[in-house]
Structure 1
Amino acid sequence: MTLHRPIGRVGARSAKRALGVQAALEWAFRIEKAQLELPMPPDVTEEGFGFGLEYVLLQRAVLGCKIDGGQHKIGGYTHEDAEVIAATVAGLPDSLGGKRMAIRVAELARAGLTPDWMPGAVPRCVPTIVKQNQHGTHAGAIVVGTERIRVRSSGGSSAWKTVEILACPVTFSPHPHQIEAAWRGYEDWWQALGWVREGLIAGGMLRELEVTMAMPKMRPWEGSR
């Protein structure tokens, strides 16, 4: 997504700049370097300087990613509209992922990325064992059992012989569950963006920015099939 120049900080009477919610998020977090100030948990008092180091480290371990907040853009000014957008993201309800989703939305916006929904991925049946020899690459086999068969010799006599039953184990790559999980992750992000969009529009707190109804595609994989 192409980002335009930062919103001007003067001329309050000028027309508001219209952006879709994804572009507005990228402007706030990527251009203005807005920080995501997450609310304190109910068991932490407001005394002191907010989050303790132990709590921050614990949350980073639980969430598996870095928590924004506590640092402001050095040597610069963060546009107040960007701060409003960041505060709205931080208020995502638990029903839409809460703090974890807020962090995901902010990090994707800061990187200018859309969740990877694995475009073009098709489950393919592939062998789990692959061997190579002078003749090239071929699927490997494993012994899954034995069977006794009667073998007749050229002289007319017969004898019992035990032979191995071989099978080629296979799997699907990527697995359908992986693709489904990627689709669910995208849909969860899309719903979170819809909530942020509605909150920014209803709140009416943006001074120089106007968030439009534009949204990313809801299910981009349906149009790519």
Structure 2
Amino acid sequence: MMPARGTRYREMSIQRALEWAFGTEFARVDFDQTDSLDRDIVMGGRDTLSVLADRAILGCKVDGGGSSEPHPDAQSLAAAVKMLPDGYGGRRMAIQIMTLARAGRSPDWIRNSDVRVKPRTWAQNQHGRYAVVEDLPEEKKLIRGRVRRYTPQICPIIYTPDARTIAAARRNYLDWWGALTYIAWTVAHWQFDRIVLTDAMPPMTPWIIPTNPT
């Protein structure tokens, strides 16, 4: 929702707004505090001024880590993050969102270029570290009219990170993306004092490279 006419405001995506709330304003989610008021904020979609009025009366707030109180808009965003339902990751996801926002980062989904091939086993001798090879069954080969016997060798390899680790990282990224979508939907009609949320979202599947149709 747009701030009142004449008010200076900043347009932000939900990701950028959370980075501002947690990274710049030092808002935080504190699960040791009473949840009832924050739940009322999230479920009721109330504006910042009424939120502050109730918080002043009840003496509770979303805790701030800076030398001064976080901006009211930042406190409201933190309240929305705090009340993420379990279906969107609950407290675990709320803490992850806060931590990543403070660092100005997205979850690591592991780029394909980050996957490396390494020898499965290493050994050490007086000359240093080397990859361990394994013998295959003896084979025969015709060389210059004569049959030669030889033992092929291979170096077993591993991919790191492995497919299971990559899948878990990308599942977590999708969960984070879904949680941001839910938060954006939750606060879409809230009356903020200084910010306006845009519809922009981080890419949903950044590991998929679009192909040009032929």
Query: Aligning the two structures, in what range does the TM-score lie when normalised by the shorter sequence?
Result: 0.5 to 0.7
Cα 1:39–1:201, aligned 2, differ >3 Å: closer, same or farther? farther
Counterpart residue number, 2:24: 31
The answer on whether the counterparts of 1:84 and 1:205 sit within 8 Å (CA) in structure 2 is no
Task: Indicate the SS of the match to 1:77.
Answer: coil
The answer on whether the counterparts of 1:21 and 1:215 sit within 8 Å (CA) in structure 2 is yes
Task: Indicate the SS of the match to 1:201.
Answer: coil
Q: Deviations over 1:91-128 (max 9, x none)?
A: 11101110000000011001111111111346555332
Gaps of 5+ in 2: 36-60, 139-150
Give the aligned residue type for 1:188.
D
From 166, 171, 183, the counterpart of 1:196: 183
| Structure-2 separation of matches of 1:134 and 1:181 | 40
From 14, 24, 33, the counterpart of 1:21: 14
The answer on whether the counterparts of 1:39 and 1:90 sit within 8 Å (CA) in structure 2 is no
Counterpart residue number, 1:181: 168
Superposition CA RMSD, Å: 3.6
The answer on whether the counterparts of 2:73 and 2:195 sit within 8 Å (CA) in structure 1 is yes
From 61, 83, 86, the counterpart of 1:94: 86
Cα 1:40–1:82, aligned 2, differ >3 Å: closer, same or farther? closer
Gaps of 5+ in 1: 1-10, 43-68, 148-163
Cα 1:142–1:28, aligned 2, differ >3 Å: closer, same or farther? same
Are 1:110 and 2:102 an aligned pair?
Answer: yes
Q: Deviations over 1:157-200 (max 9, x none)?
A: xxxxxxx9987544332211111111111111111111111111
| Structure-1 separation of matches of 2:63 and 2:33 | 16
Task: Indicate the SS of the match to 1:220.
Answer: coil
Cα 1:219–1:172, aligned 2, differ >3 Å: closer, same or farther? same
The answer on whether the counterparts of 1:27 and 1:82 sit within 8 Å (CA) in structure 2 is yes
Task: Indicate the SS of the match to 2:174.
Answer: helix
Report the alpha carbon displacement of residue 206 of structure 1 after superposing the two structures with TM.
Answer: 1.5
Counterpart residue number, 1:85: 77
Report the alpha carbon displacement of residue 76 of structure 1 after superposing the two structures with TM.
Answer: 1.4
| Structure-2 separation of matches of 1:84 and 1:122 | 37
Task: Indicate the SS of the match to 1:217.
Answer: coil
Give the aligned residue type for 1:213.
D
**Between Structure 1 and Structure 2, whose CA radius of gyration is higher?**
1
Q: Percent identical across equivalent pairs?
A: 36
From 209, 213, 216, the counterpart of 2:195: 209
| Structure-1 separation of matches of 2:6 and 2:69 | 20
TM (normalized to structure 1)? 0.63
Task: Indicate the SS of the match to 1:126.
Answer: strand
Cα 1:207–1:71, aligned 2, differ >3 Å: closer, same or farther? closer
The answer on whether the counterparts of 2:26 and 2:66 sit within 8 Å (CA) in structure 1 is no
Structure with more contact order per residue of length (Cα contacts < 8 Å, sep ≥ 6): 2
TM (normalized to structure 2)? 0.66
